[in-house]
């Protein structure tokens, strides 16, 4: 390795970004070349000085307090918005409910009747077609699969929210 | 960046305001200094610091693994600073021209220049790569991903930044 090759790779060497073999070659060259060794030393001390310089940046004294105040303000505004949205929904919902209450009541009755029929059919089939223990097992498995489905959907939606924040 | 007590992060997640104030006190210097290193403007840095803590406040409950809090926060800080830089800088300079620009604009500052000022005199592309490496401790591959540039470009920017910085400080 000559000096220009060594100097071209010196930053990668110091940052631990070279392969084991390349690092050994650079290290060997540095032992035999005072010029390249000086550059390596200068770059190393630069790293230290940069950190020192960053640490010496003066932080405004009341910054924490101002950030905290702005976050509290945002929190209060958000809470007020939640209340306002809830109130608006209720105020809008009451007339809608009054207008379509027979439809909603009918829908609820339909959902109740359908689920009762489905559960009744399921229990009858399970009791007639398979032994009781196997029937219980199948019911448990079906319930678990349904719960897992709901949980996966929730986790999936949560995952999307995290990505959104990070982006 | 020194890791904070995990118990405190748990308290922040549960909505404890006092815990959030302690977290804020612990991380404000690092957040502000990083923003200032990137932006070099007091008002902008304060604004970004505020934006970062607001993001933390809003989304800390979404963090799945609290032991990864430091990495998560560091990513929010970096992305917020880089986003602000992109808004400030409409057209990035092609890498092939970075050296020429420095050569065309010789500096006039005196021999006892502070490191902070010297870093500020670097071309933005060099400065951000150097800060990501030296101050934030990202490796080359992470920097390539954060800046959406090839690995080879990261290598040349970091090396170029050090060469330029050495040159500036020796003038």
Which residues are within 8 A (CB) of A65 and not within 5 positions of it... i.e. 6 or more apart? none
Chain A contacts of B114, Cβ < 8 Å? Answer: 53
SS (H, E, C) chain B: CCCCCHHHHHHHHCCCHHHHHHHHHHHHHHHHHHHHHHHCCHHHHHHHHHHHHHHHHHHHHHCCCHHHHHHHHHHHHHHHHHHHHHHHCCCCCCHHHHHHHHHHCCCCCCCCCCHHHHHHCCCHHHHHHHHHHHHCCCCHHHHHHHHCCCHHHHHHHHHHHHHHHHHHHHC
Q: pLDDT of B113-171, one tens digit each?
A: 468 888 888 888 999 999 999 999 999 999 999 999 999 999 999 999 999 998 888 87
- Among B50, B133, B155, beta carbon nearest to A67: B50
Q: How many distinct structural domains can be found in chain B?
A: 2
Same domain? A137 vs A107: no
CB contact under 8 A, B133 and A15: yes
Does A61 touch chain B if contact means CB atoms closer than 8 Å?
Answer: no
Same domain? A9 vs A46: yes
Q: What token pair was written down for B10?
A: 């748990």
Same domain? B137 vs B162: yes
Same domain? B13 vs B84: yes
Q: How many distinct structural domains can be found in chain A?
A: 3
Q: pLDDT of B77-118, one tens digit each?
A: 999 999 998 887 655 555 555 554 444 444 434 433 468 888
| Domain end among B88, B106, B129 | B88
Same domain? A88 vs A105: yes
CA atoms lying within 13 Å on the CB side of residue A150: 5
Does B54 touch chain A if contact means CB atoms closer than 8 Å?
Answer: yes
- Domain containing residue A18: 3-55
CB B85, CB B38: distance < 8 Å? yes
Contacts with A, B 111-150, CB within 8 Å: 114-116, 119, 130, 133-135, 139-140
Q: Say which CATH number the domain at B62 has.
A: 1.10.1740.10
Which residues are within 8 A (CB) of B132 and not within 5 positions of it... i.e. 6 or more apart? B78, B138, B142, B143, B146, B147
CB contact under 8 A, A11 and B162: yes
N residues, chain B: 171
Chain B contacts of A50, Cβ < 8 Å? Answer: 115, 119, 130, 134-135
Q: Say which CATH number the domain at B139 has.
A: 1.10.10.10
Same domain? B144 vs B74: no
Model pTM greater than 0.95?
no
Residue B1 lies in a domain: no
Using CA coordinates, name the residue in chain A closest to B72: A166
Q: pLDDT of A24-67, one tens digit each?
A: 999 999 999 999 999 999 999 888 888 888 888 888 988 989 99
CA distance linking residue A54 with residue A47, whole number of Å: 11
Report, in angstroms and rounded to the nearest whole number, the Rg of chain B calculated over CA atoms. 18
Q: pLDDT of A137-150, one tens digit each?
A: 888 898 899 999 99
Same domain? A86 vs A119: yes
């Amino acid at each position: 390795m000559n000096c220009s090759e060594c100097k071209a790779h010196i930053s990668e060497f110091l940052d631990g970004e070279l392969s084991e073999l390349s690092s050994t070659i650079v290290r060997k060259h540095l032992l035999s070349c005072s010029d390249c060794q000086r550059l390596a030393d200068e770059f190393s001390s630069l790293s230290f000085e940069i950190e020192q310089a960053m640490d010496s940046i003066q932080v405004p004294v009341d910054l924490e307090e101002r950030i905290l105040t702005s976050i509290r303000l945002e929190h209060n505004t958000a809470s007020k918005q939640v209340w306002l949205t809830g109130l608006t929904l209720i105020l809008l919902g009451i007339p809608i409910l009054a207008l379509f209450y027979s439809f909603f009541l009918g829908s609820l009755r339909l959902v109740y009747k359908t689920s009762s029929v489905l559960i009744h059919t399921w229990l009858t089939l399970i009791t007639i077609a398979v032994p009781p223990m196997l029937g219980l097992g199948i019911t448990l498995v079906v319930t678990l699969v349904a719960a897992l489905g709901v949980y996966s959907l929730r986790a999936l939606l949560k995952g999307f929210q995290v990505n959104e924040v990070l982006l | 960046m020194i890791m904070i007590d995990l118990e405190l992060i748990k308290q922040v997640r549960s909505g404890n305001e006092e815990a959030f104030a302690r977290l804020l006190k612990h991380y404000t210097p690092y957040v502000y200094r990083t923003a200032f290193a990137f932006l070099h403007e007091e008002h902008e840095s304060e604004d970004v610091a505020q934006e970062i803590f607001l993001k933390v406040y809003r989304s800390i409950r979404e963090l799945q693994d609290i032991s990864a809090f430091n990495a998560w926060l560091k990513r929010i800080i970096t992305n917020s600073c880089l986003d602000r830089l992109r808004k400030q800088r409409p057209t990035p300079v092609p890498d092939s021209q970075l050296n020429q620009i420095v050569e065309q604009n010789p500096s006039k500052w005196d021999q006892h220049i502070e490191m902070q000022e010297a870093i500020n005199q670097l071309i933005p592309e060099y400065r951000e790569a150097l800060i990501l490496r030296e101050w934030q401790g990202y490796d080359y591959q992470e920097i390539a991903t954060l800046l959406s540039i090839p690995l080879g470009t990261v290598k040349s920017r970091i090396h170029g930044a050090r060469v330029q910085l050495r040159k500036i400080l020796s003038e």
